[in-house]
Amino acid sequence: MTQYNHYLSLLRLHSLTPTSSTQNSKDKDDELFSDLITFICQVAQCYPEETKELPAQLKGLLMGAGAVTGEIRRTIIRNLVMLRNKDVIDSIE
């Protein structure tokens, strides 16, 4: 739950200030955010109630105004496919 709360905090920060930090700091933040997305998606089936909004959050990041970088975009898509393969979400979501 601590990691999920950290993910939610970074999600809020990322949606508020997607391009305000320096490039080096932004790369580190993006790497941490990508790692948290991957971790949360890997354990989502164990915490279905806590992570029920996760697919919608990831979809929102993808469909947002281009705020996510290529690496985060790849991470999100890879993890949505993983969630689909684990039957956490269906292909319509």
Give the number of domains in the chain.
Answer: 1
pTM of the complete model: 0.82
CB 21 within 8 A of CB 67: no
90 domain-assigned: no
Check the CA dihedral 39-45-49-53 and report its sign: positive
Half-sphere exposure in the Cβ direction for 44 (13 Å, CA): 24
pLDDT-above-90 percentage for the chain: 54
In a domain, 28, yes or no: yes
pLDDT at 19 over 60: no
Candidates 59, 71, 51; CA nearest to 5 is: 51
Examine residue 34 and state whether it is found in any structural domain, yes or no: yes
Residue 91 within any structural domain of the chain: no
Q: Is residue 51 part of a domain?
A: yes
For residue 12, give its domain range: 2-85
pLDDT (tens digit, 9 = 90+) per residue, 65-90?
A: 656 778 899 999 999 999 999 988 88
